[in-house]
Chains A and B, each alone.
Chain A
Amino acid sequence: MSDLATYSAQFERFANALTAAERAPRSVQFSRFLASGFPDKHVEDWRYSDLSALNEHNYEPDVAAADHLPEALLADADALVYVNGRLLGEPKHGQWHSDTSELPPPATGVDALNAAFASGGLRLRMDRGTVLDKPLQVLFVSRAEAQATMSHQRHLIELGDDAQAKVLLDFAGDGGERLATHFFDVRLGRNAKLTLYRVQNEAAGGTLVTRIDTRLSRDAKFEAVTIDLGGGFTRHDLDVSLAESGAETTIAGLYAQAKGSHIDNHVRAVHAAPHCTSRMNYRGLVDEKTKAVFNGKVVVQPGAQKTDSEQRIANLLLSRKAEVNAKPDLEIYADDVKCAHGATVGQLDEIALAYLRSRGIDKDTARAMLLRAFALQILDRIEWPALRARIEAALHLPAELSLDTDA
């Protein structure tokens, strides 16, 4: 194993600029990182996403001041923009950004690295009974710089009882050689409702690691839609803990593999209390000589009776060389539960393709129509027209047309 010398040198320089009080907890995290290193293929959960290639890299902690405003902002949302981990301008609502980072214990070496170098990030705290009047778009832009850079951010979303919010975590990047890690600590109070979109549409080249840990109190609702369109090396962990009874989560996702990209999604719903519901629905479009990884896991802990969970995974292989590792996983330690799961891997329906072509539609358009049809179940979950339109455009899918019978 490598001695992670470049990281040590970078950390030393980084830590020197901190006060002793700031430095101490970070040093602890950094030694954890040194002890465990980047997760590699010997760690079961990281089997297909070996990060040990990063051992020899030298990433500068990014200190360049962010400047230009990207154009990807959605008109009907409030926005917070980070470029290479730095907040751009003053947020409209000052309370949305925090420079101090709380540090829950890290799960892996990469989490420890994140905690050691962590800079501030989104801090959305909503009081009891409040509703965010507009969706919040948090845009994370990764931009190439003269040398390889890294940024590590920690974020907090906390909804009080009965509070409601809609948040978009939007990852865009030009494919520059960068390592970006993000940790999201999400807590939902009783009967709170969070709709969370996580969209990744970066150019191939960089490395992106995200972890979203979500805890739901009684009757809370968490609706998540995750979209990955190509990108570089990406690994996403989404953990949902249904901690009190009556909590509900719906997690849907689409990953569309592209040349040079590696997309690994690990999604986990933990039923820790009775009478909770979880729905997981993931679809993958896997193309080129790449591999997509999806690991969906439902855990029903002892005592979580009347659990109602369902997990569906479907993959479409677009070429013979495409490969997918999609695994639904179920661990049940309670007896009065309803758990369904299934995974399929298929190819484009050649007969449907021939039918469309026989009506005059060229092969590429026909193909796009069928891909869209496959992705539709997930796209339909995006209840934000501007966002949905942007994603469909990025997927190069023709728009659907419905017959207005009254027209």
Chain B
Amino acid sequence: MLEITNLHARVEEKEILKGLNLSIRPGEVHAIMGPNGAGKSTLSNVIAGREGYEVTDGTIAFEGRDLLALDPEIRACEGIFLGFQYPVEIPGVSNMTLLKAAINARRKHAGETEIPPNDFLAWVRDRAKLVKIDPKMLSRGVNEGFSGGEKKRNEILQMLVLQPRLMILDETDSGLDIDALKIVSDGINALRGPERATVLVTHYQRLLDYVQPDFVHVLARGRIVRSGGPELAKELEEKGYGWLEAA
């Protein structure tokens, strides 16, 4: 589904990713861990196509297509979703407006007609219930005045509404209380299926107790320096990253 080969990327003249390889097949859940500043968010943003990142070498193929040639909105329409580490507030653009525009953009891209208003409302309302977001909050500006945890749940709501095929969640578990972590995990698990793949960027084993990964990778110094099964996360929890950095 996603094939990253020898990826080199820089931000403001600084090389962050230095020859990264990663292969993800449909149905899989991959966890990416690694020290602060290792390049995890950079990798997520490069996959999502955010401007400001320069890919100097390597390729990313999504379902066989050259992903790097596509604008970020096209990547989203093709089924890639990035849950941001720091979701932004957009006063004046309501959550509902964003969701509707996003759904219709995707439908237009797929050659479909716009979603009927009643279907849209029902669709959003049901999903808002899953992540325990009061529908009233959705008529506010995007993330406007939302608490840290609410912002993260809102990312999951957007994901549930948009039904992506590749979900990249950048520290969506950070800053959540126990109940919210459960809600977010349930949201991720609800979309798990043979056609979809998930990338969880996280610092904590906790999330991985709820969402069982198939693979765990360690990203350090701009590359994947170690890959393993769920047991690798436990090992990291015990030993930290020092032993890998030294290796």
Whether a CB of chain B sits under 8 angstroms from the CB of A400 is yes
Q: Do B100 and A401 have beta carbons less than 8 Å apart? A: yes
What chain B residues lie within 8 Å of A350 (beta carbons)?
Answer: 51
Q: A354 to B77, alpha carbons, bound, how many Å?
A: 14
Which secondary structure dominates where chain B touches chain A?
helix
Whether a CB of chain B sits under 8 angstroms from the CB of A369 is yes
Q: Do A401 and B97 have beta carbons less than 8 Å apart? A: yes
Q: Do A401 and B135 have beta carbons less than 8 Å apart? A: no
- Of A33-41, A212-220, A258-266, A355-363, the one contacting chain B is A355-363
What chain A residues lie within 8 Å of B51 (beta carbons)?
Answer: 350, 354
Q: Do B162 and A403 have beta carbons less than 8 Å apart? A: no
Of A357, A372, A398, A401, the contact of B71 (CB 8 Å cutoff): A357
Whether a CB of chain B sits under 8 angstroms from the CB of A373 is yes
What chain B residues lie within 8 Å of A376 (beta carbons)?
Answer: 92
Q: A221 to B135, alpha carbons, bound, how many Å?
A: 37
Q: Do B96 and A401 have beta carbons less than 8 Å apart? A: yes
Whether a CB of chain B sits under 8 angstroms from the CB of A46 is no
Q: Mark B92-106, 1 if CB is under 8 A from A, else 0.
A: 111011101110011
Whether a CB of chain A sits under 8 angstroms from the CB of B190 is no
Q: Do B101 and A361 have beta carbons less than 8 Å apart? A: yes
Q: Do B72 and A358 have beta carbons less than 8 Å apart? A: yes
Nearest-Cβ distance from residue A371 to partner chain B, whole angstroms: 9
CB-nearest residue of chain B relative to A404?
B121
Q: Do A357 and B97 have beta carbons less than 8 Å apart? A: no
What chain B residues lie within 8 Å of A107 (beta carbons)?
Answer: none
Whether a CB of chain B sits under 8 angstroms from the CB of A405 is yes
Whether a CB of chain A sits under 8 angstroms from the CB of B69 is no
What's the tally of chain B residues with a CB closer than 8 Å to chain A? 39
Q: A351 to B142, alpha carbons, bound, how many Å?
A: 13
Q: A352 to B87, alpha carbons, bound, how many Å?
A: 9
CB-nearest residue of chain A relative to B97?
A401
Q: Mark B58-102, 1 if CB is under 8 A from A, else 0.
A: 000000000000011100110000101001101111101110111
What chain A residues lie within 8 Å of B77 (beta carbons)?
Answer: 360
Whether a CB of chain A sits under 8 angstroms from the CB of B139 is yes
Q: Do B98 and A402 have beta carbons less than 8 Å apart? A: no
Whether a CB of chain B sits under 8 angstroms from the CB of A295 is no
Q: Do A358 and B82 have beta carbons less than 8 Å apart? A: yes
Of B92, B96, B142, B162, the contact of A360 (CB 8 Å cutoff): B162
Once A365-B105, A404-B121, A405-B136 are accepted as A-B contacts, the answer to whether A359 and B98 lie under 8 Å apart by CB is yes
What's the tally of chain A residues with a CB closer than 8 Å to chain B? 30
Q: A366 to B84, alpha carbons, bound, how many Å?
A: 18
Most chain B Cβ neighbours within 10 Å, of A350, A363, A401: A401
CB-nearest residue of chain A relative to B83?
A358
Q: A366 to B102, alpha carbons, bound, how many Å?
A: 10
Whether a CB of chain A sits under 8 angstroms from the CB of B33 is no
What chain B residues lie within 8 Å of A359 (beta carbons)?
Answer: 73, 76, 98, 101-102, 105, 158, 162
Whether a CB of chain B sits under 8 angstroms from the CB of A48 is no
Whether a CB of chain A sits under 8 angstroms from the CB of B36 is no
Q: Do B73 and A362 have beta carbons less than 8 Å apart? A: yes
Q: A383 to B170, alpha carbons, bound, how many Å?
A: 43
Q: Do A407 and B76 have beta carbons less than 8 Å apart? A: no
What chain B residues lie within 8 Å of A363 (beta carbons)?
Answer: 71, 73
Top 8 A-B pairs ranked by shortest CB distance? A373-B92, A360-B76, A359-B102, A360-B105, A357-B73, A360-B77, A357-B72, A376-B92
25 inter-chain pairs at a CB distance below 8 angstroms, sorted by A residue, are A349-B88, A355-B90, A355-B142, A356-B98, A356-B101, A357-B73, A358-B48, A359-B98, A359-B162, A360-B76, A360-B102, A361-B73, A362-B73, A362-B105, A369-B101, A372-B93, A373-B90, A400-B94, A400-B97, A402-B96, A403-B96, A403-B139, A404-B121, A405-B135, A407-B121
